[in-house]
Amino acid sequence: EVQLLESGGGLVQPGESLRVSCAASGFTFSNSAMSWVRQAPRKGLEWVSIIFSGSGNTYYSGSVEGRFTISRDNSKNTLYLQMNNLRPEDTAVYYCARGGGHIPTYFDYWGQGTLVTVSS
Amino acid sequence: EIVLTQSPATLSLSPGERATLSCRASQSVSSYLAWYQQKPGQAPRLLIYDAFIRATGIPARFSGSVSGTDFTLTISSLEPEDFALYYCQQRNSWPLTFGGGTKVEIK
């Protein structure tokens, strides 16, 4: 059974940093592209970043590029999102999502999310 | 950035009725569009990808279609568990983008 378990969320002040993690199991993590998708309170979904398997190529949304860094540790089956210079508008539930099979830019499995709150 | 506009924002229907949800792209995304369902307090679930291909385990009452830049998700006969939020998402170009969502509520 595919499982994705996010952790590391919490309350931080504007300008601070935070790293969230996603522990994966039930599939070959190293073969899968992985993404972060966020959802602000009572708002819609926003794709944040993706990291591909193999090449490790990464892409970011414009709203986080230069501040957030996605990475993965295939030996630990874990995905990370390092978030620097956080802003109040980054407040959201952060979901990790697996890229679907042969089309890595759709998301076929999702975790339950971790809440990041940026507030003074 | 490709903008996806979903309509209506809210659809009020009764169980057994047909639901038709729309997603319009601001420019061509070919057929590279997916639909997701999200229930309160839950993560999204992939329903349809590449405009009309049902994901694994998705019932046949869910179907997708496309005409140019207009995409449609149809639920042929609403079951009680289908009342939820629905989002479209394009993968044609970076950044990946989602629509604003359509809520299907019980009338």
The predicted-structure confidence for A87-116, as pLDDT tens digits, reads as follows: 999 999 999 999 987 888 999 999 999 999
Residue in A2, A45, A47 to test binding to B, most B beta-carbons within 10 Å: A45
Interchain CB distance below 8 Å, A105 and B46: no
CA distances from A27 to A55, A116, B54, B67 (A): 19, 27, 21, 36
Interchain contact A111–B (C-beta under 8 A) = yes
Nearest CB among B45, B87, B96 relative to A105 is that of B96
HEC secondary structure over chain A = CCEEEEECCEEECCCCCEEEEEEEECCCHHHCCEEEEEECCCCCEEEEEEECCCCCCEEECCCCCCCEEEEEECCCCEEEEEECCCCHHHCEEEEEEEEECCEEEEEEEECCCEEEEECC
Give residue-wise pLDDT tens across range A2-25: 999 999 999 999 999 999 999 999
Give residue-wise pLDDT tens across range A29-53: 999 999 999 999 999 999 999 999 9
Percent of chain A residues past pLDDT 70, beyond the cut: 100
Task: Kindly write down the DSSP assignment for every residue of B3-16, as one continuous string.
Answer: -EEEE-SEEEE-TT
